[in-house]
Amino acid sequence: MNEALHSIAYKDSQGFITGHFTAMAGPCEVIIETSDHALAEQVTQAVANEAWRIESTFSRYRTDNIIYYINNADGKPVEVDAETARLLDFADLCFEVSDGMFDITSGVLGKIWKFDGSSNVPALKEINKLLPKIGWNKVSWANPKLQMPAGMALDFGGIGKEYAVDSAATLARAITDCPVLINFGGDIVATAPPVSREHWLIGIEPLALGQNKIPPKVALKHGGVATSGDSKRFLQYKGKVLSHVLNPKTGWPVTDAPASVTVLANNCTQAGMLSTLAMLQGQGAEEFLESQQVEHWIQRR
């Protein structure tokens, strides 16, 4: 284990102890309403260990985990463990309810789309070359066996962080009744409202290029919050900002997608699924979330 990458820093302020660490390519924090440093460290260490465990288990960048074995099976069936099976079942559900727009085989598009704020859009022939390698409907999944055509690849990036937050929150609840807020790069869970104030106040990141001066804030008592948007990852093309949310059927960014969608739900996995599905709806994002009857915030340019 790399000690520099797996270190935790603590800060004590106004009755809250916050643990900071890095996981899943971004900053993470655990805020515990307590003055008990030993308890705060126990909770934070458990949360961080779970984040690092899930990252190493499901990262597509490693060569020693189940994702690597699936993506390099060359068309042969692979038997998966129960945790991987639960994620595959969830991905299958997302694919069905989104009419194929939420597709964990579309990660291959990341090879050619680099959302770095530039105007570098891949050539049409590059996109068309990858489209045949996309399509969850081409994968045979019957728990516990998965068989995928050679050349295709799975990527849990669209659901992994939200799943990790919820899993870490379950561990935190088992350790303490103290209110805990877990934030993995904007994917958030609160185990309970703070005792010293009415709610946790969550800031939503400003839009790319600073179009909104004062982004909205979310009052969170318990449950999960997730945001899909382009505050950091976008392209500028023909006078427009292109979102990093890609349409797996065309290989291009979703047309008329909101700049940002934030959803409050019972847990972070549900919030993340709904915010992503709303982004994939493009112009219909508002109508979709109204139909889901969840609290939400949509920012458009």
Contacts of 19 (CB under 8 A, 6+ apart): 8, 9, 10, 29, 30, 32, 40, 41, 43, 44, 47, 48
Beta partners for residue 220, in sequence order = 200
- pTM to 2 decimals? 0.93
Q: What is the predicted pLDDT for the residue at 127? A: 97
pLDDT attached to residue 1: 47
pLDDT mean across residues, the chain:
93
Which positions ≥6 away from 233 have C-beta within 8 Å? 115, 116, 244
Q: What local confidence, expressed as pLDDT, does residue 3 receive?
A: 52
Banded pLDDT at 229 (limits 50, 70, 90): confident
Q: Name the β-bridge partners of 19.
A: 10, 30
Region 217-245: what's the mean pLDDT?
85
pLDDT tens digits, residue range 53-108?
A: 999 999 999 999 999 999 999 999 999 999 999 999 999 999 999 999 999 999 99
Give residue-wise pLDDT tens across range 158-214: 899 999 999 999 999 999 999 999 999 999 999 999 999 999 999 887 766 555 556
DSSP state at residue 106 = G
| Nearest residue to 157 via CA among 100, 207, 94, 202 | 94
In a 10 Å sphere around its CB, with 0-12 CB exposed, 13-18 middle and 19+ buried, how is residue 85 labelled? middle
226 Cβ contact list (under 8 Å, min separation 6): 162, 186, 187, 188, 262, 263, 265, 268, 271, 272, 274, 275
On the question of pLDDT at 253 being above 60, the answer is yes
In this prediction, residue 214 carries a pLDDT of 61
> Using an 8 Å Cβ cutoff, are 79 and 144 in contact?
yes
Contact predicate 10/17, CB 8 Å: yes
Model pLDDT, residue 241: 79
Assess whether pLDDT exceeds 90 at residue 276. Answer: yes
pLDDT at 5 > cutoff 60: yes
Reported as a single tens digit per residue, the pLDDT across 19-30 is 999 999 899 999
CB 224 within 8 A of CB 189: yes
